[in-house]
Structure 1
Amino acid sequence: MAKKSYRKRRTVQLSIGIVLILIIIPIFVGVYSLFKPLPEGISVQSDFRKTDDLDILYDVTYEDKNKAVHHDQEIVDTMYEVIDNAEEFIVLDMFLFNNDYNHDTLEFPTLSDNFADRLVQKKEESDIPITVITDPINSFYGTYDTKVYKKLRDAGIDVIETNLSQLRDSNYLYSGYYRTYLTWIKPGGLKILPNALRPMDDKVGIGSYLRLLNFKANHRKTIMSEKEGVITSLNPHDGSSLHSNIAVRFAGDTLNDLLKSEIAVLDFSGYDTSKIKKYEIETDNNTGEYEISLVTESKIRGALIDTVNTSEAGDSLKIGVFYLSDRGFIKALKKALDRDVKVQLILDINQDAFGNEKNGIPNKPVASELMNYKNPPEIRWYKSHGEQYHAKFMLHNNGEESTLILGSPNFTRRNLKDLNLETDLIVKSNSNSEEMIAMNEYYNRLWNNEDDIYTLDYEEESEDSVMKTILYRIQEGLGLSTF
C-alpha cells in the first residue's frame, strides 16, 4: 500500500514537473526573444548631411463649409515621379501593398493596382532592376499569393516578404509559446477560419492567425532610386488611399544610408544582395540649408525623446500622429510641459479602420491623461470621414532653429522599441527656411481650421474611461495589441 502511495505521489510530482517545464521553457524563450541581438544594420542613425534638394509632402482629407469632403494629395504622384525618373534601379519597402478590405460593403480607389501597374510599366520600358520589400501580412502570412505579387513577379520584379522571425517579439508572452510549440503549423493548412482582411474571400488557415498574433511587422514605407527617395507614412493600400499622410522627398548622400538600411532587411530575409550592394547613388556636394539624418527603429525613439528633452521654455512642439502611447515619450512630454514648452497635438480619434469601428485606444486614454496633467498641452482631434489621420511627425521650433522628425512609425512601444521595422528622416534647418515655413503653415491650417474644417476641439471627442486606460496600459506593456 505504501509503495502504491509512493508511486502515485511520484507520478503526480513528475507530471507537475513536466507541466512546469513546458510552461517555463516558453517563458525563457519569450524573454530572450524580447532582448535578443538585432540583425546587423537594424536600429541605426546616419550622420547628418546637408542638402538643398528636399520637399515635405502632404495628403489632407478635409471638409469644406458646405460639408463636402475633399482629398488634396501629392505623395503618390511624387512616388510615381521617383519611379518614372529612375535610370539605374528602384528599391521600395512598403508595409501594406494590397487591396484587402471588405469589398461587399466598401469601395476605395484602386491604389495598389495603380501603383503596381506603374512599376510594371517602368520595368517593361527600361528593364532596370526593381526590388519590392514588404510585410507578410499582405499574403496573410503566406496563406495565398496576392494579385499585386503576381502582377509584379510576372513582370520580372523581385518581391521579398520580410522574415519577421529574425526580429524581437512584441507580444513576448504569446510569442514564447509560439516559437516553442506552434511554428510547425503552416499557413496553408486547416483553412477553417474567416479571412479578417478580406471577409468576402475563402477561409484561411489556423497557422495564419497564429503568426498574426505575434503582432510585429515591417512597417517601413520608403521608395528610392539612384537619384532620389521618399520616406512616408503612406501605404499603397486601397483601404488606406484616402488617409491624411505626410512624406519627405530628398536627394543626395543620405540615399546611401537609406539603401544600406534596406539591404539589411533583404540580407536577414534571405535575399541575395550582391548586385544591390553595387548600386551607385547620385550624390551632391553635401551643402545646403537642410541637415538630414536617416534613423530607423529605436533610434527614432531616441531622436524624438532627445528633441523633447532639449526643448526649453518658449519653444514649441507640434505633433501630428495616428497612435500615441509610448510611455517614455509621454513622460518626456510632461517634463517639457513643466518647463513651459508649448505642446500641441493633433491626434486621430482611433475610431475607423477600413470600415470597422475601433474603441479609441490608445489616443483617447492618453489624451485624457495629458489633459488631466497639472500642466496640460493643447490637443485637437482630426475630423474623420471614415479615413484616418495617418501622419507621424514632430516639429520642434526654438524661434531660430527647427527640427522635424517624420516617417513611418506611430509613437508607440511596438513602433519605437526595436520591435517593428521603421524609417524616419530628421530634418534640421533655420526656422525661416522654405520647408519649415510650409510645415508650420500646414500645421496651423489644420489647427485653426483655416478656410475649411480639419480638426475638432478636444472636448468634442474627449473621453475619461478608467477601463480603457487600464486596457491601454496592459496592451502597451505586454504587446497585446496591433498599435
Structure 2
Amino acid sequence: MVKKSKKRIFISSIILFALIYIAVILWHTYKPLPEGISFEGNIHKTDTVEFITDLTYAQDQEGTGMVHENFIFDKVNEMIDEAENFVVVDFFLFDGYYDENEDFPKIADNLSTTLSNKKKENPNMPVVFITDPLNRGYGSYENEWFKKMRDAGVEIVYTDLDPLRDSTPIYSGIYRIFFQWFDIGGKGWIANAMASDAPKMTIASYMTLLNVKANHRKAVITEKEAMVTSSNPHDASGFHGNIALTVTGPIINDILKSEEVVSLFSGGPKLPRIKVEEIDGEYEVQYLTEKKILDKLLVDLAGTKEGDKIWLGMFFVAKRDIVNALIDAANRGVDVNLILDPNENSFGQDKSGLPNRPVVQEMVEDTKGKMNIRWYNTVIGQYHTKAIWIQSDEYTIISSGSANYTERTLDNYNLENNLRVIAPNDSELVSAMEAYFERLWNNEDAMYTLDLEDYQDRFTWWQRWIYSLQKVLKVTTY
C-alpha cells in the first residue's frame, strides 16, 4: 500500500511538473509583446536615400590580393560629428575582442571615442546608446568601450530581453522554471564564448545566453538623418560584407518612436523628436520592425509576376514562408538571383553550412534549377548583408536592415529593424544597387562570388537531417 502511494505521488509529481513546464513554454512563446514592438511606420516621401556598402574580397578563390572597402562606419562617425541636437544609436554587437590573427579595423574604439567626444563637447546634448546585454556578458562585466562612453556621460541602455518571447521552447521551459532565478552578479570565471581575451562570465550569465534571443537592431539617428544597416560596430566583424541605407525627413520620427519603446521598457530615457513637415520626393520610405518586416515582404514577393526580377543578398535564409515565396516566384517566371553566405566560418571557427546549404538544395530541386544562386567568396569574414531588391516594370522595392530570413528574426523573438523603400527604376538608388549586385554576380573586377557547385557539391544528407531536426526542435543559433 505504501509503495503504491509513493508511486502515485511520484507519477502525480511528474505530471504536475510536465503541465507546469508546458504552460511556461506556451506562455513565454506566445505572451503579449510590449506595446510598440512589431512596428509598422507610415510611408513617407523623401528625396534622399543613400546606399553604402562594406566589402571584403580577393582577386582569386584562394584569397590572393585581399581588398577591404569599409565605408559604413566612416558614415556613422560622420553623422555623429555633424549632429547638433541629439544622437541615438542602437547596435547589437559592440566590442573589440577577437581571437583571429587579423589586423581588424578598430571600429569599437573609434565609435566609442566619437560618441564620448560628442558628449564631452556637448554635455547637455542627449547621446543615447541602446544595446544588447550580450555586450556586458549578461551581467558578468562592463566592457571597456561602454565604460569609456558611460564615464563621458553617454546614456547606456542595456535592452531588457525578459519581456520578449522565448525562441527555444525546450530550453526556455527549464530556464524559466529554474535558471532565471539565479543571481547573475559576482565575478565571472568561465571563458567567454565570444573571444578568449574577453572578460569571463558567470554560470548564470551563460544560462541566460543559452535562452537565445537578442536586440539585433542596428540604427543611428540624429536630427539630420538616420541609418539602418546590417553592420555591427564589432572589430572582428570589420571584414564582413554589409549594406546600409540612410534617409532624411519625417521617417526619422518613426525610427525614434520605435527605439523609444525599447528604451523605456529597458529603464532608459524618452527620446527626442524632430520638427519636420511631410514633403514630396521620388522615394517612398517605411520603417518596419520584427514580424512587420516579414508581413510586408511576403506581400511584395506575392505581387511579383513573370518578367520581374529579384536580387537577394543574405547571410541566413531559413524562414519557410520566404523560402516558399521565392520558390513560387521562380516557378512563375520571375528572375530570382541569390547571393548567399556559405555559412562556412564564424569568427575563425568552422561552421557546418547550416542553414543555407540544405535550404539551397531544396530551392534548386523545387524549381528544377530555375533559381540562380551564387555563394559569396568569404575568404575572410562573412557575407553579412540582409537585403532584397524586387523590380517590376514600374518600380523597385528594397528591404534592407538587420533581419536575417529566419524564424528567430522574423517571428517576433528578436528585436529587428529594416527600411522598406519604393524607388523609381531610373533613380540613383536603384542604379547604385543594381551596379552593386551586377559587380558581385559577374565578378567584374575581383572574385566576389563562386558558382553554386563550389559549395553545394559538399552538401550531404546529414546537413538536411540536422537542419530538419533543428526546425522541429527550434534549437539553433540562427
Same fold (TM over 0.5): yes
Structure-2 change in CA distance of 1:144 and 1:67 (3 Å): same
CA distance in 1, matches of 2:443, 2:381: 18
CA distance in 2, matches of 1:320, 1:457: 15
Aligned partner letter, 2:238: S
What is the aligned partner in structure 1 of residue 106 from structure 2?
110
What is the aligned partner in structure 1 of residue 465 from structure 2?
470
CA distance in 1, matches of 2:259, 2:395: 31
Task: Check conservation: 1:189, 1:207, Cα contact below 8 A.
Answer: no
What is the aligned partner in structure 1 of residue 39 from structure 2?
44
What is the aligned partner in structure 1 of residue 332 from structure 2?
339
Identity %: 40
CA distance in 1, matches of 2:473, 2:217: 22
CA distance in 1, matches of 2:202, 2:69: 40
What is the aligned partner in structure 2 of residue 93 from structure 1?
90
Task: Check conservation: 1:252, 1:282, Cα contact below 8 A.
Answer: no
Shift of 1:353: 1.2
TM-score, length-normalised on structure 1?
0.95
What is the aligned partner in structure 2 of residue 27 from structure 1?
22
Residue 317 of structure 2 is aligned with which of 319, 324, 344? 324
CA distance in 2, matches of 1:399, 1:416: 29
Residue 64 of structure 2 is aligned with which of 62, 67, 76? 67
CA distance in 1, matches of 2:393, 2:454: 32
Shift of 1:190: 8.2
SS at match of 1:281: coil
Aligned partner letter, 1:50: K
Residue 444 of structure 1 is aligned with which of 438, 447, 466? 438
Residue 15 of structure 1 is aligned with which of 10, 31, 51? 10
Structure-2 change in CA distance of 1:191 and 1:146 (3 Å): closer
Residue 307 of structure 2 is aligned with which of 298, 314, 327? 314
Task: Check conservation: 1:106, 1:355, Cα contact below 8 A.
Answer: no
Structure-2 change in CA distance of 1:115 and 1:325 (3 Å): same
Aligned partner letter, 1:395: W
CA deviation string 1:89-109 (max 9, x = no partner): 111100001123226x55422
What is the aligned partner in structure 2 of residue 119 from structure 1?
115
What is the aligned partner in structure 2 of residue 142 from structure 1?
139
CA distance in 1, matches of 2:261, 2:314: 27
CA distance in 1, matches of 2:404, 2:241: 14
SS at match of 2:268: coil
Aligned partner letter, 1:53: T
TM-score, length-normalised on structure 2?
0.96
Aligned partner letter, 1:141: Y
CA distance in 1, matches of 2:21, 2:298: 33
TM alignment of 1:3-402, pairs within 5 A: 6-64=1-59, 67-102=64-99, 105-127=101-123, 128-189=125-186, 191-201=188-198, 203-273=200-270, 276=271, 279-376=272-369, 377-402=371-396
What is the aligned partner in structure 2 of residue 3 from structure 1?
none
CA distance in 2, matches of 1:267, 1:291: 29
Task: Check conservation: 1:153, 1:159, Cα contact below 8 A.
Answer: yes
Aligned partner letter, 1:112: A
CA distance in 2, matches of 1:61, 1:190: 38
Aligned partner letter, 1:380: R
SS at match of 1:68: coil
CA deviation string 1:16-42 (max 9, x = no partner): 211222232122111111111110110
CA deviation string 1:349-405 (max 9, x = no partner): 111211111111001111111112244300000001221101001100012210000
Aligned partner letter, 2:342: I
Structure-2 change in CA distance of 1:55 and 1:202 (3 Å): closer
CA distance in 2, matches of 1:476, 1:300: 21
CA distance in 1, matches of 2:303, 2:17: 48
Task: Check conservation: 1:323, 1:347, Cα contact below 8 A.
Answer: yes
CA distance in 2, matches of 1:476, 1:124: 49
CA deviation string 1:66-119 (max 9, x = no partner): 92011112111111121011111111100001123226x554222111110011
CA distance in 1, matches of 2:298, 2:346: 29
CA distance in 1, matches of 2:201, 2:116: 29
Task: Check conservation: 2:141, 2:199, Cα contact below 8 A.
Answer: no
Shift of 1:218: 0.2
CA distance in 2, matches of 1:446, 1:217: 31
Greater CA deviation, 51-60 or 279-288?
A: 279-288
Structure-2 change in CA distance of 1:187 and 1:199 (3 Å): farther
Shift of 1:282: 4.5
Task: Check conservation: 2:389, 2:399, Cα contact below 8 A.
Answer: yes
Shift of 1:477: 4.0
Task: Check conservation: 1:27, 1:173, Cα contact below 8 A.
Answer: no
What is the aligned partner in structure 1 of residue 427 from structure 2?
433
Aligned partner letter, 1:358: K
CA distance in 2, matches of 1:113, 1:476: 38
Task: Check conservation: 1:326, 1:476, Cα contact below 8 A.
Answer: no
CA distance in 2, matches of 1:176, 1:332: 32
Task: Check conservation: 1:325, 1:476, Cα contact below 8 A.
Answer: no
SS at match of 1:402: strand
Aligned partner letter, 1:301: L
2:387 is the counterpart of 1:403: no
| Structure 1: gaps (5+ residues) | 1-5
| Structure 2: gaps (5+ residues) | none
